Amino acid sequence: MRYVNPLQTISRVVCKQISLLLVTIVGALLTACSSSGGNPVPTIGINVAPGVNFRGDVVALQFQDNAQLLVGVGYDGAYRWNLATPAIEQTFAPKQLFFGLTSAAPLVATTDRKTITTWDASTGKQLATWNAKPRHLAAQTTVFEVSALAITPDQQTLIAAYNKGSMLQAWNLATGEATTTFGAPADTGSIVEIALSPDGQLLASNDFSGVVQVWEVASGQQVQRFKEASLKYQPGKLAWSHDGKWLAASSGDKNGGSVLVWDTNSWAIVATHTSAEHQFVGLAFHPSANTLAIGTSGGLIELYDPASDQVMNTLNGHADRVTTLAWNADGSQLASGGKEPLVIIWDTTSLSEKQRLLLPATTVQ
């Protein structure tokens, strides 16, 4: 589970009047409902930070061909939606936490922290599964947890990040064999997110020590390492522009949020976007334009232009943090999800909500 220094908060939710005391779990927050008037009894919960994935969080989105959308829900599984209907066509990968999705073909990789499994998203059939222990670790080592997955565009390689040991392991997708090991155990803080460049040659990672690193996928060599004061304590997401010329990182803490954008030719910072009101979480670059969609802890989505350092428009439809964003192939639609059990599809021409996909209720285990 990804979190550090959680803040205790008091939460109130609307509860239905019932005859017995009921305790409901909303995300990671416990709330008790009284039996007398149905009024919520305030209880102590956890105010989670950007990038934190609790049961029920939408953690991965990817548009597919034929008006389909893949939705990964942490601690739950994956759903394939037919947006033309709309209806859930397939559910698979139960009890999986983190997801690696591809757009060109229906390949999905998932993890429960200790194992990696691949799936055919068109059928929901499991293809392969293997132990995710990094090759670098001794055979007797049991302390490791997968924290993020990414699949190269050619679908030959899967890269897994680890939040214990702070390393990256590349795997041959055809054989499930470990190939290149990046980084070193405990070299930096726990890795939170990874993102591949559009050509699959570079991989960016961030961690809880406030460091963003860039790696060469083929060799595993570090290309760049940044520790910027303007990045907040809690790391969020990473995103590459469609042409690979920009790399963005989001972050946030109790004092607000920031997004940094680097020029990948010079590795100079070309834009710094900050907010005293919101933590910044989800990130996704438009497939052809210089527009960066930014999800906030308050439920807003900002459409930001790094070149002019301007927020061009905002989308308002979520009531809670937006951790995951994805554009369709031509940029006419944007999918957004996060802490709520739903996904919103936006028409980016009219800047209006086009569809709202409600996720089915899941049993807390």
Question: pLDDT at residue 49 above 60?
Answer: no
**Can you name the residues that pair with 77 across neighbouring β-strands?**
73
246: confidence class by pLDDT, cuts 50, 70, 90: very high
Q: Three-state SS for 84? A: coil
Backbone region of residue 83 per phi and psi (left: phi > 0; alpha: psi in -120 to 50; beta: other values)? alpha
How far, in Å, CA of 273 to CA of 31, rounded? 35
Q: Are 231 and 247 in contact (CB under 8 A)?
A: no
106: confidence class by pLDDT, cuts 50, 70, 90: confident
pLDDT at 171: 97
pLDDT, one tens digit per residue, over 57-83 is 899 999 998 889 999 999 899 999 999
Domain boundaries, the chain: 7-47, 58-358
Whose structure tokens read 């980084």? 183
pLDDT at 136: 79
Backbone region of residue 349 per phi and psi (left: phi > 0; alpha: psi in -120 to 50; beta: other values)? alpha
pLDDT at 185: 61
Q: Which residues contact 350 (CB under 8 A, 6 or more apart)?
A: none
pLDDT at 52: 46
pLDDT at 103: 83
| Average pLDDT rounded to a whole number, residues 135-157 | 87
CA distances from 288 to 33, 68, 71, 72, 324 (A): 49, 20, 23, 25, 19
Provide the mean pLDDT of the chain: 83
298 CB neighbour count, 10 Å cutoff = 16
Q: Which residues of 135-165 are buried (b: 16+ CB within 10 A; e: fewer)?
A: ebbeeeeeebbbbbbbbbeebebbbbbbbbb
168: confidence class by pLDDT, cuts 50, 70, 90: very high
Burial class of residue 209 (count of CB atoms within 10 Å of its CB; 0-12, 13-18, 19+):
middle
Q: Which two tokens stand for residue 43?
A: 């209880």
| Greater pLDDT, 206 or 44 | 206
Pick the CATH number of 58-358 from 3.40.718.10, 2.130.10.10, 3.40.50.970, 2.60.120.20: 2.130.10.10
Q: Which two tokens stand for residue 61?
A: 């989105």
pLDDT at 254: 84
Lowest pLDDT segment from 181-185, 305-309, 316-320? 181-185
pLDDT at 188: 64
